[in-house]
Amino acid sequence: MRRLICLVSVRLLSVVALFAAANGGSGVLAADVAQINLTEWTPPDISSVGDDAFGKLVKYGYALMTDTANQIGPMVSDPARRYSGNNLSCQNCHLKAGTQPYAMPLTGVWGQFPQYRGREGEVGTLEDRINGCMERSMNGRALPLGGREMKAFLAFTKWASTGIPDGAKLTGAGALNVKEPGRAADLANGRQVYAQVCATCHGNDGLGQRAAGGNSYQFPPLWGPDSYNNGAGMARLLSAAAFIKHNMPLGTTYAAPVLSDQDAYDVAGFINSAERPQRANLDRDFPNRLQKPVDTAYGPYADDFSPEQHKLGPFDPIRAKVKELAAQAAAQR
């Protein structure tokens, strides 16, 4: 029996060697990393979750994702449970309870952490990442690590990732980038796109439209005091353009975008030029300035480009400069 296993593993080894040769000997073998295409993946169904202890926590996580404002928003009756600072829902961005491909889905995210994050300059856990959105997208405060709410978000994310191996390479995760027009965002065009395509739902004033009952929104605000703060991912032009092009107006998917790359870029610049809550101490983000995304609208920067250009582009000249600075820093080491 031992012999047989040995023979089998020798055979496997030679297959692997052949494969490596066919791949030009590239270090990582495709066969080693599971590849999951979220655009062809059927996420689990919340109605099939049971009432055991784990199931209850998953269901609470689902409620927190989809009805955040009424669960932990700034207007809930118990002051101790007012964790978010605005009345958005996680689902307003992580569409369809975090299942929509290219709308920053949570499907498979369980197996992607811990991971290095440039914003914090250290390896972060999934809890850190959730609290990142709590403090920025939700303009609120961090959830206590041992509390029921954090456990519920974790249980929900684990359940939403059912069947996806840890560390799998995901297609459909995050958001799909737009092709940059190689100029600064044209705010006049952005304003026009907004008026023509977005204002019917999000309002001429950008403040959205409340849902009939409760504190949440039928159409969430895009700026103003109840929106995400200036430290949020969505406050970066390229992140917002990526989300908007492939998910807005409501009902749009990555497969059939409505806006052109240029219109998405311009309207993202327009939205993020409006007033929104300001987060304190943002200068502490990205302790390694060379890792700061080029479209981060707040300094300090490794380069000398203006905050205005970091906010509205064009970004390629910044990228080129940062690359040069990174090469210099590496040479000095």
Residues that bind ligand HEC (CB under 6 A): 68, 88-95, 104, 106, 109, 112, 129-130, 133-134, 137-138, 153, 173-174, 197-198, 200-202, 219-222, 228, 232-234, 239-240, 243-244, 248-250, 259, 267, 271
Provide, rounded to whole angstroms, the least separation between the CB of residue 200 and ligand HEC: 5
Provide, rounded to whole angstroms, the least separation between the CB of residue 109 and ligand HEC: 5
Nearer residue to ligand HEC within complex by CB, 93 or 155: 93
Which alpha helices (H) appear in the chain, and where do they start and end?
Answer: 2-22, 53-66, 68-72, 95-98, 126-135, 148-160, 187-193, 199-202, 237-247, 261-271, 307-312, 316-332
CA distances from 71 to 62, 134, 224, 228 (A): 11, 13, 22, 18
Q: What is the DSSP letter of 175?
A: -
Nearer residue to ligand HEC within complex by CB, 57 or 90: 90
Provide, rounded to whole angstroms, the least separation between the CB of residue 313 and ligand HEC: 17
Main-chain dihedrals φ then ψ at residue 189, nearest 5 degrees? -65, -40
Provide, rounded to whole angstroms, the least separation between the CB of residue 279 and ligand HEC: 13
> Which residues make beta-bridge pairs with 37?
171
> 185 and 265 in contact (C-beta within 8 Å)?
yes
Nearer residue to ligand HEC within complex by CB, 197 or 290: 197
Nearer residue to ligand HEC within complex by CB, 185 or 234: 234
Provide, rounded to whole angstroms, the least separation between the CB of residue 251 and ligand HEC: 7
> 221 and 208 in contact (C-beta within 8 Å)?
yes
Nearer residue to ligand HEC within complex by CB, 180 or 257: 257
Q: Provide the 3-class DSSP secondary structure of residue 240.
A: helix
Nearer residue to ligand HEC within complex by CB, 221 or 303: 221
Nearer residue to ligand HEC within complex by CB, 89 or 230: 89
Main-chain dihedrals φ then ψ at residue 122, nearest 5 degrees? -155, 175
- Taking CB atoms, the residue at the shortest distance from ligand HEC is 233
Provide, rounded to whole angstroms, the least separation between the CB of residue 291 and ligand HEC: 12
Alpha-carbon distance 98 to 93, whole Å? 8
User: By C-alpha distance, which of 315, 313, 95, 318 is closest to 190?
Assistant: 313
Residue 37 burial (10 A CB sphere; 0-12, 13-18, 19+): exposed
Provide, rounded to whole angstroms, the least separation between the CB of residue 90 and ligand HEC: 3
